A and B are shown apart, each in its own frame.
Chain A
Amino acid sequence: KQEVTQIPAALSVPEGENLVLNCSFTDSAIYNLQWFRQDPGKGLTSLLLIQSSQREQTSGRLNASLDKSSGRSTLYIAASQPGDSATYLCAAYSGGGADGLTFGKGTHLIIQP
């Protein structure tokens, strides 16, 4: 059974800093890995999706990497802004009979102005 762990659970940094969020998964036989953002009282917004054949994906100031062999993914946020404050969730999709995502508990990020 796939398990996803995110470290740290919470992070607070001054505006302008670069930061890294970590995600690890127990079953390396994943189909893809996805990073989401969740704002209070709102649903999840997909940020980046990395297919199992890819090593990284970039969107603006965000860069996500995937290392299947070590069961790890990182989300790098460059030049953080107060608007980046949210909870970031990673989710692994393992394929098979169903398509449900296995989520980590998330990292609650606060960017101090």
Chain B
Amino acid sequence: EAGVAQSPRYKIIEKRQSVAFWCNPISGHATLYWYQQILGQGPKLLIQFQNNGVVDDSQLPKDRFSAERLKGVDSTLKIQPAKLEDSAVYLCASSLDRPNIQYFGAGTRLSVL
């Protein structure tokens, strides 16, 4: 069974630029999560989708972050414009249903200079 796929693995941008991350969950998994992990911290949930609907985005900085999950499969997370404090690893996870074990991708490491 293929795992959660994320791309790119690494991204370096300058502040005020835009960036987008992509996630392909495990086939058949209805629930998809985006987490932000700042160095030395545990992951923090940014947004949760159930199919293509948003379940929770209370910790998503909506003035600069946006996410979508078209057709209830792949998802993209965008930051526009990026700030220095956005430097982190962005992890995507999926689960078969709610609630259930979450399977994580390898993450995208973002450095904002």
Residues of A at under 8 Å CB distance from B? Answer: 4, 31-32, 34, 36, 41-46, 49, 89, 91, 93, 95, 97-101, 103-106
Contacts and interface: CB of A to CB of B under 8 A. Distances in A.
A104 B98 contact: no
Contacts of A95: 99
A93 B56 contact: no
A32 to B, nearest CB: 8
B62 interface: no
Contacts, number: 61
Interface of B: 4, 31, 33, 35, 40-45, 48, 55-56, 58, 91, 93, 95, 98-99, 101-107, 109
A43 B56 contact: no
Contact of A99 (B58, B98, B103): B98
A44 B43 contact: yes
Nearest to B44: A103
Nearest to A90: B42
